[in-house]
Amino acid sequence: MRAFQVTSHDTPPAVQEVPTPEPKKGEIRVRIRACALNFGDLLMMKGTYQATPPLPFILGMEVAGEVESLGPDTKGPAVGSKVLVFGGQGGLAEFGCYPAESAVPLPDSMTFEEAAAFPVAYGTSHVALDYRARLQEGENLLVLGAAGGVGLTAVEIGKLMGANVIACARGAEKLEVAKKMGADHLIDAGSEDIRDAVKALGGADVVYDPVGGDQFKAAFRACRPEARLLPIGFASGDIPQIPANHLLVKNLTVMGLYWGGYMAFKPQVILNSMRTLFGWHAEGKIKPHISHVLPLEQAGEAYELMRTRKSTGKVVVTVE
């Protein structure tokens, strides 16, 4: 089968012919139709992601497709049924084998492309804002990286939860995308002082941060007393250090969020979240923003769109 495979952390991945995997007991084999890209994939290429697999490996965390076969003595979705799977890797290929219990039936309201773009971005934002931060109606929610894959869903979900959403992104084009998803206020990270702009709006009650670096530091200084800060990732490449004495003075709370970690120690959090999110999608309350859809042969170009910040929302690769 064709697969976009990493064979070295020093050379670019490429589409190669590799053996088609056989499902083991407890697994299903999925005919993959769409795979969404994530910032973590770029870190995997370099070997710096917290869950980088041993070489060689196939990129692609979240996939949608049809169940093609079941492993021996395996109960699972029927052959031919459409499923969504968060597998962590292996999605940029024609076929992938995954634990049967990790497959979620695809709602009728979703296309393969929408489904692939759904779990990480929406799951991260919903668990972060609802389960972790307990975002309340009327609170000021500051979203950094607001036009990115997870940031844009935080804008959308925050607005749906009744927050006053302050979207921070670089450039008018990206800010316009955030505005369309429900942002109440816009801050251009490339030309405005984030701290001053947020304080002028009354300060932040909740900070959603997939960026890190100087933007986190500015947002930290713009927090209201008892604010909650959510480090989601570090797209800037800079992991900020947090002065504990400032936490004390303002009674601030910093709460990390690694969405995939809940699959290992508290999967019910993710299952409950997905149930809510699927319901919202079926009701037309949320809809994935996909800026680019490219075929498997152009997976390298798809990642370049993410790396150079030329995409908004999600980038999806289709597998024919």
Secondary structure in 3-state letters for 225-287: EEEEEEECCCCCCCCCCCCHHHHHHHCCEECCCCHHHHHHHCHHHHHHHHHHHHHHHHCCCCC
**Phi, psi torsion values for 249, nearest 5 degrees:** -60, -40
pLDDT at 198: 98
pLDDT along the chain (320 residues), means of 10: 97 96 97 95 91 94 97 94 93 96 87 94 97 98 95 97 98 96 97 98 98 96 98 90 92 94 88 92 93 97 94 95
Alpha carbons 81 and 64: distance in angstroms, whole number: 11
Pair 118, 105: CB distance under 8 Å: no
Compute the distance between CA of residue 20 and CA of residue 113 in angstroms, rounded to an integer. 23
* 3-class DSSP assignment, residue 311: coil
Identify residue 119 by its one-letter amino acid code. Answer: P
Please check whether residue 170 is in contact with residue 191, taking contact to mean a CB–CB distance below 8 angstroms.
no
Backbone angles phi, psi at 289, to 5 degrees: -95, 115
**Residue 216 three-state SS:** helix
Predicted pLDDT at 237: 85
CA-to-CA distance for 4 and 220, rounded, in angstroms? 39
Rounded CA gap, 171 and 67, in Å? 42
Are the C-beta atoms of residues 206 and 231 closer than 8 Å to each other? no
Helices 149-160/119-126 angle, 10° precision: 50
Q: How many helices and strands (H and E) does the chain possess?
A: 11, 16
- CA distances (Å), 209 to each of 86, 142, 218, 236, in order? 22, 8, 11, 11
Structure tokens at 76: 């699972």
Local structure of residue 93 (DSSP, 8 states): B
Rounded to 10 deg, the angle between the 149-160 and 172-180 helix axes is 40
What sign for the dihedral angle of Cα 317, 47, 27, 83?
Answer: negative
Domains in the chain, start-ordered, CATH in brackets?
2-118+288-318 (3.90.180.10), 120-259 (3.40.50.720)
- Could you tell me the CA-to-CA distances from 195 to 21, 199, 216 in Å, in that order? 51, 6, 10
C-alpha–C-alpha distance, residues 296 and 91, integer Å: 10
User: What backbone torsions phi and psi does residue 219 show, to the nearest 5 degrees?
Assistant: -65, -40
